[in-house]
Structures are given as C-alpha cells and as structure tokens.
Amino acid sequence: MVRADSGEAALEALREIKLRGEQVAVLLADYRMPQMNGIQFLEAAMDLFPRARRVLLTAYADTDAAIDAINIVDLDHYLLKPWNPPEEKLYPVVDAMLDAWLAAPDATTSDTRVVGHRWSAPSFAVRDFLARNLVPYRWLVADEPEGGRLLTAAGLTTEDVPLVVTPDGTSLVKPTEAQLAAHVGLTTTPTEEFYDLVVVGAGPAGLGAAVYGASEGLRTILVEQHATGGQAGQSSRIENYLGFPDGVSGAQLTDRARRQALKFDAEILTTREVVGLEAGGSTRLLHFGDGSMIAAHTVVLATGVSYRLLDAPGLAELTGRGVYYGSAAIEAPNCKGEEIYIVGGANSAGQAAVYFSRYARRVHMLIRGADLRRSMSQYLIDQIAAIGNIEVHPHTSVIGGEGGEHLERLHLCDPRSGTPRTVDASWMFIFIGAEPRTEWLDKSIVRDERGFVVTGTGLVVDGRRPSGWTLPRDPYHLETSMPGVFAAGDVRADSVKRVASAVGEGAMAVSLIHRYLESQ
C-alpha cells in the first residue's frame, strides 16, 4: 500500500511505480485534497494505470461529485465518509475491487522498455543495440497508449524519444550506447590495468580466442565496440557449423560463446572503442576513445569486417528508416505481408532471404551477377530455389532510393544496358562487400591495400622480415608485424570467411600466444 498527502504527491508515486514496471490494483482518492480534487487525480492516474479500479471518498455534501466521477472517470465505487465500522463499509468494497482487478490484472514486466517512433533511425539503433547484446526488451510505439503512458510517467513528450526505461525504473532519454550498456547490465570498465591477453572484437574469432585464452589460465579481456557476435551474430540461421545438424542462429551461438567465456572468468567490455595500439617494450598498450588505456603481454585483433555502404543517391538519409545494413532481424515481424528487397548474393544475404521469407509476402534478391553459384553455398542455393516467395533478380543494381518518413521507392537498373526502372519498396536490407575495421591501427601494423591485416609468411618478402621486427625468428602463422600481436578471423588478409574458420583461428592464436610467452 502506498499513501500520499496530496494528489500531486500521489501522481509522483504512480509515475515511479509505472517506470518500475509494477502494477496498481486500486486507486482510492478523497474528493477534497490539496492542489487538486479527487476526480482530477483519478483522471490523471487513469493515464498511467487505465485498468486500476477507482474509488472516490466523499462526504454526504459531495454526492454530486460522485455522480460527476462516474461520468468523467468511469468510477467503480464511491464511499461516503465516515465509513465506520470499516469491517462493514470499507474492507468489503476494497476486497471486491481487488477481486475484480485480479480477474484481469495489468501486465508486469521485468524487461527493459523502449519507447520510440516506428520509422526512426535513433529508435532503431537503440533496439538493434539491445537485441544484438541479447538484452530482453519490450518495444512500445510512442503514439500508442502504453508508450504514451510511459512517456507521461517520465514527464516527457513524443519528441523526447527514444526513451529507454530500465527494470529499476531509470529513464534514459536518447541514450548513447555507452549509457545503455551501463544501465542494462553490460560491463564497460576493466577491473585491471594489465592482462595477459586483450582480444579486440567479439565476433566468432574474438569469442573463440577469449574462451581458449581464459580456459588456459590467461588473464583475458575481450573488448567490443558494439555487440558480441559480429556479423555472424546477426545471422538468422547457420546450418553448416559443425555440431549443429539442425542449424543454429547467430544469436544463439553468440550467447553460448559469451556465457562460455564468462564461465572461464574472461572479462567482456562493450561500447569501448579502441583507437590505438603501440608497443612499450614487451608490453602492448591499447588506447580507448575516452583517453584511457589498458596494457597486456599479447593482443588478438579480431575486429572482423563491416558491410560496405551502398553509395547511391537518397540511401544515406533513409538508413534506419527502411534501409538497413545486415539482417536487422528485429524488423522481420514488421515485414509481415510486405515485399522486401535484399541486396547481395553471399551466404549472409541468402540466410536473410530464407528468414524473411517466413514473414514477407515476397522477398526480392538483387544481385549483380548472373546467378548465386559464385558466392553462395550450395545448400543455401537449394533452399532458396525451393521457397516460392523468394525471387532472384540477376544483373540488377540499386542506383537510388527515395521517400519521406521512410523508404518508399527504389531505383534499379541492369548494369549491362543501363536501363532503369523504379519499384515501390519500404524495406531494403544490404549485404554487400566486406570492409575491415582497421583504420585505427594506422601505421602500427602492416595491412594490405584493402586494409586487411597481413600475418605470418605474408610479412616476409624476399626473405626480409617486416620493418621494425625485433625478434630473431619469422612471425608465427597468425602473428602481425608487431611481435605478440596476432590477427584472427575475417580481419586477417587471405582468411577463409566462414564462422568455423574464424573460431578455429581464435583458438590457434591462443596456442601461438603460449609459444610467444614461453620465448620471452
């Protein structure tokens, strides 16, 4: 039971209860209160808890107020003061109200809640961050009743979105990823200043390195800028990964790997951007974007790759509002009965097409080549051919897009003839190319012309080791041009772009790290 000495104090208590995701069963209000009367209080309280039972306490002279309350706030009951004896006049009424509410209570929630607009890039970014970090949340549209009630409880308007309300009732208005991480249980600060192994990037290669490093007794920390899993974590279904004959989603695989790393006491930091790497004698120093740094004996670079941006007029401003990079699986239910467009012909695009075909009326795959055979696994080609609502459009490029609040039209063309055409479209998911996330390495590590990290024998040219190499041996297989720094997974030049090989390289890097440490 919560009591208040004024209507405003009671409303403030109700706002806190609403933000914490708790329930209110019965509202009892005296008609005569400071600052506002009981009817005004109940009318405001209904905006927060519309299903709570409402009881007005009135004096005999205020019976007209009770009639007004029945018409204005759909009053469930009114009580005339005094109500002695309460066993006869008060308690039975409260019991009846409780019984009526228990028959259809409000829903409670222990999840994080996100309030935003349907076609809003910032709202999508918040939802995507939470989903990719496996944080349960409820999505509420600002213009719908429950979303509006949360905004009211937080003292905000529909202009103040996205709003994130954590399970403890904390309100975050237009939060950054770092603010989100700090309030939803993700770790953002290292516990130590020095480690045996720092893994940069939490895709399959990074998670593999963290699991093997920590399980073998190395003080290990895994640093991720956005979300664990990388591109593989966004995959709706991986069916050729060893040990999962029925397939496994990227999120499931990521969750298992993350829990496994934590089991072996690896630390996992999120929303931390590594902006520099340097050697300090036998120590490797990593600098964060906020000016702090950590040191380690060894480093594994596993930053993976990102999808290349589709450079066409009108698309940049529609990103997050109908134009998405990667699978954006959180949007799949919203595509029910719609026509969607997928750009790309590799495995990630094929997995997305199969997944979205369960929701969309038709999935259009746009590819530049003549068919899928050059870039996609045969099992996926066979699946796509067997699904009736997936249509592959060969020799098709996207040359532009347009729309108001969201994507509305795509401009396509055949690159052979240059013949353009326009289609109505609200959804486009892009899976093209692969760009390594290595700009931050600058000149500290040798990279190839496309930015991929060169390792092992690739660093030895005409029998000459890389400039600055100080050891009397050639670099190990996954070792970079800085001794003690290794690369694994998609970020490495000439690597096999598959989940299994990335995990294997992460494990192999740890084996080579032991050799490196033993020789120091």
Look-up of token digits 């409000």: 106
pLDDT-based confidence at residue 61 (cuts at 50, 70, 90): low
Comparing 2-16, 97-111, 333-347, 373-387, which segment has the lowest mean pLDDT? 97-111
Q: Regarding beta strands 407-413 and 323-325, do their DSSP bridges make them parallel or antiparallel, or are they unpaired?
A: unpaired
Looking at residue 74, its pLDDT comes to: 76
Looking at residue 278, its pLDDT comes to: 95
Q: Which CATH number is 244's domain given?
A: 3.50.50.60
Mean pLDDT across the chain: 91
Q: Which of 72-76, 416-420, 500-504 has the highest mean pLDDT?
A: 500-504
Looking at residue 109, its pLDDT comes to: 58
- The SS3 assignment for 104 reads coil
Task: Indicate the pTM of the whole model.
Answer: 0.80
Q: Which residues of 224-253 are buried (b: 16+ CB within 10 A; e: fewer)?
A: bbbbbbbbbbbbbbbbebeeeeeebbbbbb
- Whether residues 200 and 284 fall in one domain: yes
- Whether residues 84 and 118 fall in one domain: no
- Whether residues 294 and 208 fall in one domain: yes
Quote the number of domains for the chain: 4
Q: Which residues pair with 365 in a beta bridge?
A: 342, 392
- Whether residues 410 and 450 fall in one domain: no
Q: Which CATH number is 130's domain given?
A: 3.40.30.10
Residue 78 has pLDDT above 90, yes or no: no
Q: What is the DSSP string of 339-383?
A: EEEEE--SHHHHHHHHHHTTTSSEEEEE-SSS-STTTS-HHHHHH
Token duo for residue 60: 């005999």
Looking at residue 41, its pLDDT comes to: 87
Mean pLDDT of 477-487: 97
Which residue from 55, 1, 58, 66 is spatially nearest to 28, judged by alpha carbons?
A: 55
Residue 108 has pLDDT above 70, yes or no: no
In a domain, 412, yes or no: yes
Mean pLDDT of 483-492: 97
Q: What is the DSSP string of 437-459?
A: S-GGGTTSS-B-TTSPBP-GGGG
Token duo for residue 227: 């979300």
HSE (CB half, 13 Å, CA atoms) of 261?
31
- Left if phi > 0, otherwise alpha if psi is -120 to 50, otherwise beta: which for 271? left
Mean pLDDT of 216-241: 90
Looking at residue 85, its pLDDT comes to: 79
Mean pLDDT of 376-402: 96
Final residue of a structural domain among 140, 164, 183: 183
In a domain, 247, yes or no: yes
Comparing 139-143, 326-330, 384-388, which segment has the lowest mean pLDDT? 326-330
In a domain, 2, yes or no: no
- Is residue 400 within 8 Å of residue 377, measured between CB atoms? no
Domain that holds residue 80: 7-102
Comparing 95-109, 151-165, 439-453, which segment has the lowest mean pLDDT? 95-109
- Whether residues 54 and 146 fall in one domain: no
In a domain, 311, yes or no: no
What are the DSSP E strand ranges found in 463-504?
485-487
Token duo for residue 201: 């990037």
Q: Which residues of 323-335 are buried (b: 16+ CB within 10 A; e: fewer)?
A: bbbbbbbbbbeeb
Cα–Cα distance for residue pair 268/258, rounded to 1 Å? 8
Final residue of a structural domain among 430, 459, 490: 430
- Whether residues 386 and 407 fall in one domain: yes
Q: What is the dihedral of CA 208, 212, 213, 214, to 10 degrees?
A: 110
Residue 85: cis peptide before it, omega within 30 degrees of 0: yes
Residue 494 has pLDDT above 60, yes or no: yes
Cα–Cα distance for residue pair 238/249, rounded to 1 Å? 6
pLDDT, one tens digit per residue, over 261-304 is: 999 999 999 999 999 999 999 999 999 999 999 999 999 999 99
Cα–Cα distance for residue pair 437/491, rounded to 1 Å? 7
- Left if phi > 0, otherwise alpha if psi is -120 to 50, otherwise beta: which for 167? alpha
In a domain, 238, yes or no: yes
In a domain, 1, yes or no: no
Looking at residue 353, its pLDDT comes to: 95
- Whether residues 339 and 241 fall in one domain: no
Residue 416 has pLDDT above 70, yes or no: yes
Residue 96 has pLDDT above 70, yes or no: yes
Looking at residue 181, its pLDDT comes to: 94
Final residue of a structural domain among 383, 414, 430: 430
Cα–Cα distance for residue pair 79/29, rounded to 1 Å? 10
Q: What is the DSSP string of 236-299?
A: S-B-SSTT-TT-B-HHHHHHHHHHHHHHTT-EEE-S--EEEEEEETTEEEEEETTS-EEEEEEE
In a domain, 31, yes or no: yes
Q: Which CATH number is 61's domain given?
A: 3.40.50.2300
